[in-house]
Amino acid sequence: MKRKLNSLYLTRGAAVAACYIALTYLSAMLGLSSGVIQLRISEALCILPIFMPEATLGLFIGCIISNLITSAVIWDVIFGSLATLIGAVGALALKRLPPRFIWCATLPTVIANALIIPPVLIFAYGVTDAYWFIVTTVGIGEILSATVCGTALYFALKRVRF
């Protein structure tokens, strides 16, 4: 029984990683996955740890692979993936919120990315925009992807048994 549970855990985590990679690649094809103004559709998946804890590691690994595939610099691979991990762990920690406040479980993702990504863009990519401008644009992109799309995903999946 334990072996079956472990393989299910790994399979679900791998499926989440694959979905994250596919959605990030789609965003990259549309020119939305990186830069000062970014809208990673894959960040909506950061709500998944509420349903299955194995999604936390899947999101982290998916973000690492996504950043490598989209030719991100090493600092973006490291710190961007850590921002996603912080968001996923935050969602997992907030999984007991009542459904009407479930959008609050997306805030760790929004805050982590809004604070971690701007210095990466400035120092690793040489972006010359003002720090608070980048915080604002990255934050808005995260609100749209993680909060709006993530909350919609939560309510769509709420009826499904995991």
Output the pTM of the full model. Answer: 0.92
Residue ranges per structural domain of the chain: 2-157
CA 78 to chain CA centroid, Å, is 14
Specify the 3-state DSSP secondary structure of 140.
helix
Q: What is the pLDDT of residues 89-148, one digit of tens each?
A: 999 999 999 999 999 999 999 999 999 999 999 999 999 999 999 999 999 999 999 999
- Amino acid (1-letter code) at residue 9: Y
Q: Domain 2-157 carries which CATH code?
A: 1.10.1760
Sign of the CA dihedral with 126 first, then 134, 25, and 80 last:
positive
> Count of CB atoms within 10 A of residue 72's CB?
23
DSSP sequence for 104-126: GGGHHHHHHHHHHHHHHHHHHH-
